[in-house]
Amino acid sequence: MIPLSRKLSAEFIGTFWLVFGGCGSAVLAAGIPNIGIGLLGVSLAFGLTVMTMAYAIGHISGCHLNPAVTMGLVAGGRHPSSEAVPYILAQVGGGAVAAAALYFVASGQPGFSIGTGAGAFATNGFGSMSPGEYSMMACIVAELVLTFMFLFIIMGATDDRAPKGLAPIAIGLGLTLIHLIGIPVTNLSVNPARSTGPALFVGGEALVQLWMFWVVPIAGGVLGALVYRNVAGDDG
């Protein structure tokens, strides 16, 4: 049995990589003239962080990297509820430290400004804080549906009956697709820890709206896991 301390260390490092790699691609590489990676590149970066960490730490902690995933897996009977709070604390800690490291790097460029508007420092938001100025209800539905599908994919890819060794690829590509859909709407969260780190540095309206990127992804994750469990039966 792997000690909880090792699992938490893995979750901290994995979530650090997700936020530094995913949000870092948006902050540092997306908008460079002529060679910026854009929407497709940022989406792929988020997928790659999860895929690489799934292979690196999946056998240690399960590679949740996301409170919505942890709560979904608890609801789906795949993870003990007693570990939920420690996992979430480790994930939020990793995301916050990653945001601090990213801020240090980004602020090293002359003229750097963290900003406060839509998408500033890779923050998530709705209304005026949405990249496309989508309404709060539109953003709620988007985050709910996309987190639902993310957990449905995770539950299916890690089912005992699924092809072995391919789960990280399915999950990473699933997250890439989810970002391609959701970045214009909310700058795409589906992950409260990913949303919290950047919001702590931007402050203001990004923090005011942070509640939505906790409540909705967790609700969507729990629903996705429960529906998969009902569809697949108890064998998985």
Contact 64, 73 (CB under 8 A): yes
CA nearest to 64, candidates 13, 1, 100, 101: 13
pLDDT tens track, the chain, 236 positions? 999 999 999 999 999 999 999 999 999 998 787 788 999 999 999 999 999 999 999 999 999 999 999 999 999 999 999 999 999 999 999 999 999 999 999 999 999 999 999 999 999 999 999 999 999 999 999 999 999 999 999 999 999 999 989 999 999 999 999 999 999 999 999 999 999 999 999 999 999 999 999 999 999 999 999 999 999 986 55
Residue indicated by tokens 């792929």: 44
Q: How far apart are CA 51 and CA 56, in angstroms?
A: 9
Domain coverage including residue 92: 4-232
Residue 37 vs residues 33, 130, 217: alpha-carbon distances, Å: 10, 20, 26
Looking at residue 236, its pLDDT comes to: 54
Q: What is the CATH number of the domain that holds 177?
A: 1.20.1080.10
Number of domains, the chain: 1
- pLDDT tens-digit readout, 58-79: 999 999 999 999 999 999 999 9
Q: Is the pTM of this model over 0.75?
A: yes
**C-alpha dihedral over 64, 70, 74, 79, to 10 degrees?**
30
